[in-house]
Structure formats: C-alpha cells, structure tokens
Chain A
Amino acid sequence: MKIMDKTIICEQLTKQFGDFRAVDGISFHVNAGEIFGFLGANGAGKTTAMRMLCGLSIPSSGSATVAGFDVYKQTENIKRKIGYMSQKFSLYEDLTVKENIEFFGGIYGLSNQQLRQKSEQLIDKLELGSVANSLVSGLPLGWKQKLAFSVSVLHEPRIVFLDEPTGGVDPITRRQFWDLIYEVAAAGVTVFVTTHYMDEAEYCNRVSIMVDGKIEALDTPGALKQQFSAIDMDEVFYALARRAQRQAD
C-alpha cells in the first residue's frame, strides 16, 4: 500500500447557510505527523470548517478528503479514522476514569484484550493509578483534559482534531498537554488544533488564520511573523483579525 503523506486535502471548500457563507472557498493540505494550527476570530468559520472535515456537516461546494476519504460520501469512514476532543465535550463526568477509557475504546471497536492493555498503559503514563476507579467529575480540569486527549487517540487515528483543548487550564498543565501533542505527532498522527493562546500557535508546524470565512494567511509561524513584520503571533493575529467585517457567532 502506498503511504499517503497528505492526510487532509481541501479544495475550495464552502458552506452556505441561506444567504450566509460561513466558509468561503478554503484550500489547504495537511501532512501526516504535522501539527496544524487553525486560528481565526470568533465567528470566522473555524467550527463550521472543522465540522465538515470531521464528516459532521456536508459541504455546499468544493472538495475535501480526510485520511483519504471523501467528506461528501464517506463520512462514516472518516469518523472511524479521526479522533476529536474539545474543551466543552470530552469525557463522561459520571463515569470513572477506567469506564471512560473502556467506553470510548469500545465505541471505536477495540477488542477486550486491546482495551485492557491500552487502559493500563494509559493510566500508567498519565499517573492516574490512584484515581482509576474514581468518577471523572472529581478530577482537576488539567487531568481531565490530558485524559480526554489520550482517550481521543486510543484507536490510533490518522488525524486528531482538537478544538480549544487547553482553555482555562493552568499554565503548567497546558504545557504538559502540548508534550502529549508532540508525542502523537512524532508517531505520525496529524494534529489539527484551534486555540486562543497565541504562544501555542508558535508550537505548530504551520498555522492558518481565517477571517470572514476565508483563509487569509497560511505558513510557518516564523514566515508569518516575517510577512507581517510582527514580533510574535499575537501581532500577526491582530493585524489580520481586526480586518474582519463579519460579527462573531
């Protein structure tokens, strides 16, 4: 089998709601093992674009493949090959750590033996041994987010989508979270991540910035800073996002 090195290919992808064009002809590709930062102001169209790439929303026009599958016709295949985690929804609060791992692993079709093995590895790695049988609701937010991320890649997806995974997390745990991201990327998983923390944009291999439904900039953080004569990504973002005409949400 040919090894496919582009895990997301997106051409003129568009989503129209009535007379409102939420996503307006975006084109880009993302490589295997790449950490791709997907930035934009509130209301720029990030969530809509992400929903199309995850197979949750059918585009109005344009084309895209995710892990080699078509976003119009093969949405079920896509869902099996991706992981997803967001700040808002990640784990079941009233299940224990172990039960969450078993539940999500089960959904993605892991065998009992795989589940047992993965569950042990994971609990060991995240040092959750003492709370393995405790309800998730009692864990500190940072632990939850690290666990949620690890659960989202349990089935060894080609791509993992992270929607503001570190919002509100303390600064040390936020950095530990990025260690986990580096680890899966080094193993060849594509990481597609949104964030409001501009220092995190620096940790991405490449960054795209959406304004009013279009991708207005896409490059490495270094090249973007040069292009906008900016000292950091905060300035790059500000220069682009303040041009937005559209109101958020």
Chain B
Amino acid sequence: MIAVELDRIAKSYAKGKVQAVRSVSFDVHKGELFGLIGPDGAGKTSIFRMLTTLLIPDAGKATVDGFDIVKDYKAIRKRVGYMPGRFSLYQDLSVQENLEFFATLFDTTIDANYEMIRDIYAQIERFKNRKAGKLSGGMKQKLALCCALIHKPSVLFLDEPTTGVDAVSRKEFWEMLRSLRAQNITILVSTPYMDEATLCDRIALIQEGQILSIDTPQGIIQSFGSPLLAVKSEQMISLLHHLRNYSGTKTCYTFGEFHHLTLKETEEVSDLKTYLKSKGQVGVEIQSVQPTIEDCFMAQMNRRADQNENYG
C-alpha cells in the first residue's frame, strides 16, 4: 500500500528564478519510516509544505492516502499530522491548553487518543500548566510531536525535528520515532544529519531540489561503488595534503579521526604506503572500511556535478 506518492513535483519561487524542487518523484509505503536526507536549501521544506497542502506545486501530481494534494486538500488536512521545522505552537497557552486546542480542532479529545501520545506526553506531563513559551527546546519538541499526533494521523510529517538539537536529545527523539513506527503510522521525516539516515526504513538523498537516490540505507551503502580506505597518521593535516596530491587518489575527505580515501582503479595500497613514507608520514594506519551514508552522499554529489558538466 502506498501512503504518499509524488510524481514529478516541481516548485519554484521568485518568478522561476529559484528552483526549489525540480521534478521530484518517490513513494512512501504505509507504515514506513521514510527519511528525506539533505542539506539546507535542498527543497525538503517545500516538499513537506506541498504534501501538507500548504503550498501548491507548479507542476506534477502528488497524493497522500490516495487524496490529491490540490483537489482534496481538505481531506488531507484532516488526516495528516505536521510538525514544522520552526516551533509553531501557541507560546502563551499552557502545555495542556495547546494539546486540548489541537484535539478540539480535529474533533477529538485528549482522552480519546491518549494511548497514541502516552509515552511522549508522560515525559512532559508534570509541566502541563507551564506556558509553552517557557519550555526548554527538548520539551517544546515533545509537545509539538504530541500536538501533531493527538488526532491519530495516518501520515506524520516531521520537518527537521532534530536540527540544532544536541546529540543526546537527538538520540531520544529517534527512539520516540521508532516506537511510533511500531504503531504502524507512516512517518516522513527530513534531516540534514546524515548519521540519522540509517535509522530509517528507506531514504531519499536530496540536493538542490533533485533526488540523488532512493533506497534502503543498506542499499545506498552497497551502491557506493569503490573500495573505501580509512587512513590516519600522527600528522592529520599534512596527511590530508599528501593524500590529495597523490597521483593515485580519486577522492579524499576528512572523516573524524580518519581521512576517507578512494583510489583510482588499478592502484595498489602498497604503493600508497610507500608514497606516504617517502613524504615523511609517521604512524600511518590504512584500513578498509564500509562507507557511511555521508560518504555516499558526497559520491552522489560528485557524480551529479560531473553529469551537469558533461551535459550542461
């Protein structure tokens, strides 16, 4: 069953000068946790706003739960939950008042659907009389999620819920999403953090309004295409220069404790070792590693840039 379907959706701003979304197509299955992964300006928010019927596409078609996003916008608004990137609850209403307000809007009550939000609301219930504006960032986020869930939506849209959030709160948030997923809600979530991609069932990598690839995280990793090496030494900055200047290097990027390197075909690791030694690198370690989603994203960006050069 398809929950969300996009068929060549496009949106531009400023009289066509800014092409935010360029012919994007993908499907989200019912009950799936689907991630839209890309940097700021990739078009993630525009896609979310079109799917939640807040913005009309310039071209293409899309459906949510089988309803057309232009023609059937009223039906869609009743069925979906939406948590925008910017906190948009009523700051001068209390936690409980906000929740009641959203329940009432959707013709339901907190009690009727309490089961849906119980685990999340339990974490903020002791602050239920506090004004939403006075909550910490992490608590605001939990309240916003409760408000988006209180009418038991069939599809939940979360636009960059973890942006600007520290590593601990990010982990907590993803744990909440995993348990929601167990309740069979379809979740479409966007994030600029590549490491969160592996927590989704399937992901779309997106850059400059175009989809780079769509697959399971494992599928994307498997399509990386060339062996990846992690290299370190006692002098990481000079090592980076040496690796970039090496004739056998295809790509080289810093990657935390290591530099990630791919070699041109037919290049041997033993030759690289000899080269680094000749450059005076000490304590060199070279190991073969599995690519991360971020490695794949960069590889796809390069591939896309090459294509644009060849055909553009």
Contacts and interface: CB of A to CB of B under 8 A. Distances in A.
Interface of A: 40-43, 138, 140-142, 164, 167-173, 175, 178, 182, 186, 196, 198-199, 202-203, 221, 232-234, 237-238, 241-242, 244, 247-249
A233 B169 contact: no
Given A172-B301, A237-B167, A203 B254 contact: yes
A169 B171 contact: no
Contact of B256 (A170, A171, A232): A232
A169 B168 CA distance: 21
B40 A247 contact: no
Nearest to A43: B136
Interface residues of B, number: 35
Given A171-B294, A198-B256, A247-B138, A238 B40 contact: no
B39 A169 contact: yes
Given A196-B164, A196-B166, A242-B168, A232 B39 contact: no
| Pairs of residues from A and B, 6 with the lowest C-beta to C-beta distance, nearest first | A168-B40, A199-B256, A170-B39, A247-B136, A202-B256, A41-B166
A238 B167 contact: yes
B176 to A, nearest CB: 16
Interface in B222-242: 236-237
Interface string B130-157: 0000001111000000000000000000
B137 A248 contact: yes
Contacts of B165: 42, 196
B84 interface: no
A42 B40 contact: no
B254 A169 contact: no
B41 A43 contact: no
Given A167-B40, A172-B302, A248-B136, 5 more contacts: A141-B39, A167-B164, A170-B38, A237-B168, A238-B171
Contacts of A233: 256
Nearest to A234: B167
B248 interface: no
A42 B169 contact: yes
A248 B192 contact: no
